[in-house]
Amino acid sequence: MQLAETGLAPIQLDWLEPPRVVLVGASRRPGSVGRSVYDNLSCPGRPFELHTVNPHPLGEPGEGHFAGVSDIPQGPGLAVVAIPAAHVAAALRELGAKGIRLAVVISAGLGRQSEAGRAMLEAARQAGIRLIGPNCLGLILPRHALNASFARAMPKAGDLVLLSQSGAIATAMLEWAAPRGIGFSAVVSVGDMAQTDIGELVALFARDPGTRAILLYIEGLADGSGFLEAARAASGSKPVIALKAGRSREAGRAALSHTGALAGSWDVYRAAFRKAGVVAVDTLDDMLGAASLLHLHPEGSGDRLAILTNGGGAGILAVDALARTGGHLAQLSPGTIEALDRACPAGWSRGNPIDIIGDADAVRYESAIRAVLEDEGVDALLVMNCPTGLIEPGEAARASAAATARARRTGREIPVLACWLGDANLAASAPVLQDAGLPVFATPSQAVAGFAALVETRRAKGRRARRDPAPALPDETADAREVLAGIRADGRAILSEIEAKRLLQSFGIPVVPTHFIASLDEAEAACRAINAPYALKIVSPDITHKSDFGGVVLGLSDAAAVERAGKAMRAHLARAFPEARIEGFALQPMIARKSAHELFIGIARDPAFGPVVMFGAGGTAIEVVADKAAGLPPIGPEDARDMIGATRIARLLSGYRHVPAADLGAIAGVIEGVSRLAVALPEISELDINPLLADAGGAIALDARVVLG
Amino acid sequence: MQLAETGLAPIQLDWLEPPRVVLVGASRRPGSVGRSVYDNLSCPGRPFELHTVNPHPLGEPGEGHFAGVSDIPQGPGLAVVAIPAAHVAAALRELGAKGIRLAVVISAGLGRQSEAGRAMLEAARQAGIRLIGPNCLGLILPRHALNASFARAMPKAGDLVLLSQSGAIATAMLEWAAPRGIGFSAVVSVGDMAQTDIGELVALFARDPGTRAILLYIEGLADGSGFLEAARAASGSKPVIALKAGRSREAGRAALSHTGALAGSWDVYRAAFRKAGVVAVDTLDDMLGAASLLHLHPEGSGDRLAILTNGGGAGILAVDALARTGGHLAQLSPGTIEALDRACPAGWSRGNPIDIIGDADAVRYESAIRAVLEDEGVDALLVMNCPTGLIEPGEAARASAAATARARRTGREIPVLACWLGDANLAASAPVLQDAGLPVFATPSQAVAGFAALVETRRAKGRRARRDPAPALPDETADAREVLAGIRADGRAILSEIEAKRLLQSFGIPVVPTHFIASLDEAEAACRAINAPYALKIVSPDITHKSDFGGVVLGLSDAAAVERAGKAMRAHLARAFPEARIEGFALQPMIARKSAHELFIGIARDPAFGPVVMFGAGGTAIEVVADKAAGLPPIGPEDARDMIGATRIARLLSGYRHVPAADLGAIAGVIEGVSRLAVALPEISELDINPLLADAGGAIALDARVVLG
């Protein structure tokens, strides 16, 4: 159910800092959810009134306990509901009557298809109550001392918000965050998202001045477009980081066309994240790394990393990790090399990674770091320490903290990451490093993954700042609508090849000239209009993969050959597909482009995100090659270039040996045209251009398939 | 220097458990290497005598201290040398005279090119001393209470050996290992490997009954073949795990031919590891994960993983991680599902991953684990726990430990991995889990990487068990030698196309028939011998990429066309390459194979490993496509199939749509032939077959280039 349909008001920030909290289902039974939430809410010095509800009195009678919701006083506030599913709807009705506008439903067993679930939604609508959950861990707002959840402890107050589709992942993140000094403005476990989805909360916390960055754990979104809009608005002012789980699961989603089959769910999410300026991370490790960096450096970082280490091996492993991400080794300036020559003994590496040698003491760490932080060619610094028996574990940490603090005072605010190898070394050093604003990582690869998230944050900001391209021109839309009107009038869903090409042409996409021949008698006249040699294809609404079934003959030299081929084709198909309706033939000139690449561009419709444009390597092996990138319209020239660049075939398109580069602008132009078409004509459910031939001279669609939804 | 050249004896295991240790360069100065090693060696209750040497008396005069090496008593033992580089050679001479046979040289500044380094090697040779190092952390043998290193602490005794080219990485591994309960039979920091390399130590510990698994940190090997032989022998009885650092660095190694350029260092190491039955890991995190599993399960594991979790999100993330590795989700048997139905409430996932729901208590954990461990379709189990406020952190751990112990008693020995999310949750649970033999991981992706190492261990064992293929037949070698003798007689290094093809043919590799025409007058006669249409190629020792420079014309229909094309080619090249020597032309029939794939097979010579066979996608775009796999000869049919399977083009070769599968046996046959050739003819430094055309009918080499070293 979309929020607009319910007539309910959007959740407001001040609802999350309520004057009172009503816990329906409070309990004193150890191990129960009601007990855990009750303990969490009973925070000493809380700035809200706590009302508990349970027909059975809690152990110690006290003020604020009531046998039923109908007994609580009238007034605003937040409700937390942790009672059996069957009673939730009734509780919501009563809560609404008492003035409650927001309820966090922790109870499970309230799925969309269940009777209790439907009753809950209806009761909320009638009572004017906004719901978070059901089936969630709860809501935590540390700055209001509000822990309306069954998490184990109250996280530190801070400026990250965590919105999670899994309560378990939320509690794990909180427990990891605590020892790393990472605090939260809010943590919301969204559960089944029956009424409030992640998109609405992203929009809410985008407006929260106490939130610097937004972390998301996502399993699946019903309202993709709403999320996209909210995330795009949010990422303009603060980084949005997402971990999408279940990438490997939904790949089998059935779909008829190539595009549909290719548009695996993760492709679409990745495209949505790019569009929305969201930074995608791959694992919980990376999510945690991003969190520990982004609350300090929400602006992200450039991609030139300096690596400073007392152990050469650790430096090499960091370089290997960097090569796996999109970062680069910074080139040290001659001045920095000189300063390092003074700070280090003769055997130092004299380059990046900066190996200051195993016997490095605190003085060497401090002067080396200071030298590197003054280098304008360095965007971020990773300081590493391998344990040795030579210096006390904390010494290098204190020196690194001091050098970083000094640089900060002179205005050098670049991110400094720390990687202290070995558990004991890390434990002894983390507090002083964290206090000085150096997030600490356990291994080189984890540290470099954190850096990669910083780089991606900066890049996402750049992509987001691109202007949206112009929508379809009235002319192109009008022309296309005329084609579609004809199809609809016939009651058909699949366009003929000639109709499909006319549609593409109206959006400025070059197509090979194609003449329809209803009867082979017309072949001679048609052949006069175009240059030999010819290609002849069957036109049948019943045969999709024409080339697989003898429905395409290439390289015909003249009209007589065309007629012979057409007769043979007809005879063959009459045996192979006696039921197929043969409407005629499509005649085309052969396109002779010696070094042209076969590409693929198409449209699929995603249930959550709507139209998706796919680009990749084309030809008959398209599924097995599976070299593709997705984009969400509207797609502008830079987005289109990014899509091209995300494929393996991009390397071929850029030219090699004596094959000149293909006209990337022309290919991007086709992607943009297909994007305008996808937006302007939502009735098109599938579109495949395969192949699109591209070389230095341009791009041209040889074959196209279009289906109306 | 190879050991054989020195006349020195191989290191013996009992040398590592010496009756005495002589520390040359002992010191009491805090922060010095001599002090740190001295402290480490001064282990109370040590089973060896400790002699310290320093011209200055150590603080407290005591027995066993000597002003110079010449003062120590005669007798066997191990020496540790931590003195300035210039004095090392003299110390070694004196140590040899005293009866020392093995010295660990910690001192740096003794590089191969340095005077001190050369003096050290010569002194060792004369004194009959085997050297470990120089420039290393030292040697640790916990079972002998011997810590001859400047690492921070003595590791726990155990059955893993760690051989490391980086002292820093060794200390980090030790510090990570300690809290995870991982012990070591030995730790050797090999430093510059001036005399003793990793290969010799692998062979040594392969024979050590106290070592169950061998861990390697490798930056680069000079004697690749020696390593390969030792590792292959070792992996027959115990797993060998390697982390190769510097993968991204040496890619720029200059090389003239395609093969040389393609055979990046990491490709060759990966091929060597596969050949030797070595399991490669990507990061320190993965190395540590492998270590914590392999000391318990040196036999590895099958690839069917069951995942049991109290948090759905964590389960999904584990599945995503599994999809990124070579593992599979186990299919639970109906009996297991029934048992889980009894153990869990109605909402459990009823499949794998097994979500036993957030309110799972100890009883549910225990009965669910017991059910899964009885399932014969499960090769390994990952038990996960997300922190909640509902149960005390250690409860699930104790239950998991109990259920695993019970299964072990009934003979089910499959690996059980634990992933306890959240630092506090992990800390509270790790001891009980580790004690019960459940290695503990912090995140789903780390746990799954550990499982992947187990699976790869089992697979490596299978690959290792393959029989080596037969060497080249006397006939094929004799024929080839005749070709090469001719080339050598001419003083040439590059074979003509016709010679190259004769060479390939002698090793059973199908080639397109090629006729040499010295003059175009011979064209007509040559054309009569083969079928039209023809391909004509220039034969010149000076033009390598013929097709790029107008030296190839295809599709010639008759002798007249061949003559015309030859004349035009000659005229063009006379202008474009006036200096090029034109020896004549090669005439071939056009090979018309409509759906054939263009492949590439070649030989490169690696400085460390010798001949390397490369296979991959061929054609003119070979460098940009960069789709390739390496193999070390001798390559048998299964190895060849593995190489094919490691490329992206393998998906096309397996057939798709209406394109039948290529004859993989024929392609593998060519790889095997090239492998025999590489072994039989070490004088061949480069060989490129590109393209090798392959389809359902077989494989045929169209063009080949061979260079003698």
Convert B633-654 to b/e letters by CB count within 10 Å (16 or more is b).
Answer: bbbbeebbbbbbebbbbbebbe
> How crowded is the C-beta side of B364, counted as CA atoms within 13 Å?
18
Residue B260 pLDDT > 70, yes or no? no
pLDDT for res A260: 34
pLDDT tens for B656-666 read 888 899 999 99
Q: Return the residue of B nearest to A248 by Cα.
A: B320
Sign of the dihedral defined by the CA atoms of residues B524, B526, B530, B535, in that order: negative
pLDDT of residue B2: 60
Model confidence pLDDT, tens digit, residues A506-559: 999 999 988 888 888 888 888 988 888 999 988 887 776 677 777 888 889 899
Q: What DSSP assignment string belongs to B419-455? A: EE-SHHHHHHHHHHHHHTT--EESSHHHHHHHHHHHH
- Closest residue in A to B423 (Cα) is A176
Peptide bond into B691 cis (omega under 30): yes
Give the closest-approach CA distance of A547 to chain B in angstroms.
9
Is any Cβ of chain A less than 8 angstroms from the Cβ of B164?
Answer: yes
Task: Assign domain A597-708 to its CATH architecture.
Answer: 2-Layer Sandwich (3.30)
pTM for this prediction: 0.92
| Interface contact A400, partner B, CB < 8 A | no
- The answer to whether the CB atoms of B424 and A389 lie below 8 A apart is no
Architecture category of domain A513-590 in CATH: 2-Layer Sandwich (3.30)
pLDDT at A261 (0 to 100):
35
Q: Determine the residue among B310, B320, B395 to mutate to test chain A binding: the one whose Cβ has the most chain A Cβ atoms within 10 Å.
A: B320
Q: Which helix (H) or strand (E) holds B53?
A: strand B49-53
Domain-wise residue ranges, chain B: 3-294, 304-463, 513-590, 597-708
Best residue in A243, A307, A317 for a mutation probing chain B (most B CBs within 10 Å) = A317
- Cα(B207)–Cα(B211) distance, integer angstroms: 8
8-state DSSP, B637: H
Q: How far is A684 from chain B (nearest CA, A)?
A: 26
Q: Quote the minimal CA–CA distance from A38 to chain B in Å.
A: 11
Query: Do residues B77 and B99 lie in contact, with contact meaning Cβ atoms separated by under 8 Å?
Result: yes
Cβ contact (<8 Å) for A445 and B361? no
Q: Which two tokens stand for residue A546?
A: 């024409």
Mean pLDDT to the nearest integer, B448-456: 97
Virtual CA dihedral for A608, A610, A611, A614, nearest 10 degrees?
0
pLDDT at A470 over 80: yes
pLDDT at B451: 98
Nearest-angstrom CA–CA distance, A643 and A668: 9
- Give me A158's structure tokens: 């801070």
Tell me how far CA of residue A494 lies from CA of A253, A487, A569, B70, in angstroms. 22, 8, 22, 96
| pLDDT greater than 60 at residue A269 | yes
To the nearest whole Å, the CA of A523 is away from the closest chain B CA by 28
On the question of pLDDT at A253 being above 70, the answer is no
Does any CB of chain A come closer than 8 Å to the CB of residue B196?
no
For residues B592 and A400, the model is more confident at A400
For residue A244, what is the nearest residue in chain B, using CA coordinates? B317
pLDDT greater than 70 at residue A262 = no
Instruction: Write down the H helix ranges in A85-180.
Output: 88-97, 115-127, 167-177
Our separate counts of H helices and E strands in chain B read: 24, 29
φ, ψ dihedrals at B72, nearest 5°: -75, 155
> Which residue, A581, A689, A583, A678, is CA-closest to A634?
A678
Q: Which residue has the higher pLDDT, A246 or A418?
A: A418
The mean pLDDT value for B137-145 works out to 96
Strands A304-309 and A354-355 turn out to be: parallel
The Cα of B497 is separated from the nearest Cα of chain A by a number of Å equal to 21
pLDDT classification of B467: cutoffs 50, 70, 90: confident
* Residue A633 DSSP class: S
Contact with chain A for residue B30, Cβ under 8 A:
no
Q: Which among A169, A421, A423 has the least Cβ separation from residue B311?
A: A169
**Which chain B residue has the Cα nearest residue A656?**
B621
Most B CBs within 10 Å, among A80, A106, A198, A283, to test the B interface: A283
The residue ranking higher by pLDDT, A570 or B140, is: B140
From the number of C-beta atoms within 10 Å of its C-beta (0-12, 13-18, 19+), residue B87 rates as middle
Nearest Cβ partner of A152 from B321, B387, B443? B387
Question: Angle at which helices B444-464 and A284-294 pack, to 10 degrees?
Answer: 140
- State the pairing for strand pair B138-141/B184-189: antiparallel
Q: CB A284 to CB B172 under 8 A?
A: no
Mean pLDDT, rounded, for B680-687: 93
Closest B-chain CA to A358: B168
The pLDDT of residue A150: 94
**What are the DSSP E strand ranges found in B178-290?**
184-189, 213-218, 240-244, 278-281
A483 shares contact with chain B (CB less than 8 Å)? no
Closest CA to B269 of A320, A602, A709: A320
The angle that helices B497-506 and B664-680 make with each other, rounded to 10 degrees, is: 100
Per-residue pLDDT tens digits for B54-91: 988 876 656 789 999 999 999 999 999 999 999 999 99
Could you give the CA distance from residue B646 to residue B570 in angstroms, rounded to a whole number? Answer: 42
Q: Is the pLDDT of residue A230 over 90?
A: yes
Determine the distance from the C-alpha atom of residue B496 to the mean position of all C-alpha atoms in its chain, rounded to a whole number. Answer: 36
Subunit contact A166:B314, Cβ cutoff 8 A: yes
**Confidence at residue A373, expressed as pLDDT on a 0 to 100 scale:** 97
* Assembly ipTM: 0.92
Interface contact A166-B652, CB threshold 8 A: no
State the residue for tokens 């699949």.
A494
Q: Which of B358, B623, B651 sits opposite A168 (nearest CB)?
A: B358
Helix (H, G, I), strand (E, B) or coil at B148: strand
Of A119-133, A172-186, A247-261, B138-152, the one with minimum mean pLDDT is: A247-261
The H or E element that residue B403 is part of is helix B393-409
Mean pLDDT for chain A overall: 91
Mean pLDDT of B151-175: 94
Put simply, whether A250 touches B (Cβ < 8 Å) is no
Which residues in chain B are contacts of A444 at CB distance < 8 A? 283-284
Sheet of A584-589: strand order equals A515-517, A584-589, A534-539, A552-556
Tokens of B418: 């634990």
Q: What is the mean pLDDT of residues A111-132?
A: 95
Contact assignment for A165 to B446 by CB distance below 8 Å: no
Q: What percentage of residues in chain A have a pLDDT greater than 90? A: 70
Spatial CB neighbours of A650, under 8 Å, sequence gap ≥ 6: A644
Q: Tell me what the mean pLDDT of segment B346-368 comes to.
A: 92
CB contact under 8 A, B311 and A387: no
Query: Could you give the CA distance from residue A455 to residue A473 in angstroms, rounded to a whole number?
Result: 37
Any bridge partners for residue B628, and if so which?
Answer: B616
Cross-strand bridge partners of residue B470: none
Closest by CA position to A614, among listed A651, A640, A582:
A640
A698 to chain B, any CB pair closer than 8 A? The answer is no
In percent, the amount of chain B with pLDDT more than 70 equals 96
| CA dihedral (B297, B299, B300, B305) positive or negative | negative
Q: Is A97 helix (H, G, I), strand (E, B) or coil?
A: helix
Asked whether residue B184 carries a pLDDT value surpassing 60, the answer given is: yes
Can you tell me whether residue B697 is helix, strand or coil? Answer: coil
Contact status, residue B123 vs residue B153, Cβ threshold 8 Å: no
Task: Please give the helix or strand (H or E) that residue B270 lies within, else none.
Answer: helix B265-276
Q: Are B658 and A548 in contact (CB < 8 Å)?
A: yes
**CA-CA distance, B520 to B494, in Å (whole number)?**
23
Of A313, A624, A652, nearest to B219 by CB-CB distance is A313
- Give B153's contacts in chain A (Cβ within 8 Å): 389
Considering only the beta carbons, identify the residue of A109, A152, A168 that sits closest to B313. Answer: A168
Phi and psi at residue A349, to the nearest 5°: -70, -15
**Which tens digits make up the pLDDT trace of A355-387?**
999 889 999 999 999 999 999 999 999 999 999
pLDDT value of residue A490: 87
How close B169 gets to chain A, by Cα (Å)?
6
Mean pLDDT, range B258-263, rounded to an integer: 35
3-state secondary structure of A651: helix
Has residue B270 got a pLDDT over 80? yes
pLDDT value at A250 more than 50: no
For the beta carbon of residue A648, count every other beta carbon within 10 angstroms. 18
Give the 3-state secondary structure of A519-569: CHHHHHHHHHHCCCCEEEEEECCCCCCHHHHCCEEEEECCHHHHHHHHHHH
Q: Looking at residues B335-344, what average pLDDT do you find?
A: 96
Pick the closest to residue B621 from A650, A656, A645, A593 (CA basis): A656
If one counts every other C-beta atom within 10 angstroms of the C-beta of residue B677, the result is 26
List, in sequence order, every residue forming a beta bridge with B170; answer none if it has no partner.
none
Q: Which fold has domain A304-464?
A: Rossmann fold (3.40.50)
Q: Is there a contact between A31 and B361 if contact means CB atoms under 8 Å apart?
A: yes
Q: What would the mean pLDDT of A297-324 be, rounded to a whole number? A: 94
Pairwise CB contact (< 8 Å): B310 & A168? yes
The structure tokens 């060479």 sit at: B503
Q: Do domains A513-590 and A597-708 have the same CATH topology?
A: no
- Mean pLDDT throughout B454-477? 88
What 3-state DSSP class applies to A270? helix
In the structure, what pLDDT confidence band is assigned to residue A414 with cuts at 50, 70 and 90?
Answer: very high
| pLDDT band, very low/low/confident/very high, at B250 (cuts 50, 70, 90) | very low
- Superfamily of domain A3-294, CATH level 4: Succinyl-CoA synthetase domains (3.40.50.261)
β-pairing verdict for B704-708 and B684-695:
antiparallel
C-alpha–C-alpha distance, residues B100 and A537, integer Å: 87
Q: What is the dihedral of CA A152, A157, A161, A167, to 10 degrees?
A: 0
Q: What is the CA radius of gyration of chain A?
A: 31
Q: Residue B347's pLDDT is what?
A: 82
| Contact (CB<8Å) A651/B317 | no
- C-alpha distances in Å from residue B608, one per residue of A164, B517, B632: 51, 41, 12
Residue B383 bridge partners (DSSP): B308, B418
Report the alpha-carbon distance of residue B66 to residue B68 in Å, rounded: 6
The better pLDDT of the pair A503, A472 is held by A503
Which amino acid, residue B698? G
Q: Which of these ranges, A101-110, A256-265, B21-30, B631-640, has the smallest mean pLDDT?
A: A256-265
Q: Which helix (H) or strand (E) holds A638?
A: helix A637-645
**Among A171, A284, A626, beta carbon nearest to B317:** A284
Q: Which of A249, A422, A621 sits opposite B176 (nearest CB)?
A: A422
User: Do residues B507 and B480 lie in contact, with contact meaning Cβ atoms separated by under 8 Å?
Assistant: yes
Is the pLDDT at B252 greater than 50? The verdict is no
Q: Inter-chain contact A320–B245, Cβ cutoff 8 Å?
A: yes
* B171 touching A (Cβ < 8 Å): yes
With bands split at pLDDT 50, 70 and 90, how would you rate the model's confidence at A59? low
What does the mean pLDDT of chain B come to?
A: 91
CATH of B304-463, one of 3.40.50.261, 3.30.930.10, 1.10.10.10, 3.50.50.60: 3.40.50.261
In whole angstroms, how large is the CA radius of gyration of chain B?
A: 31
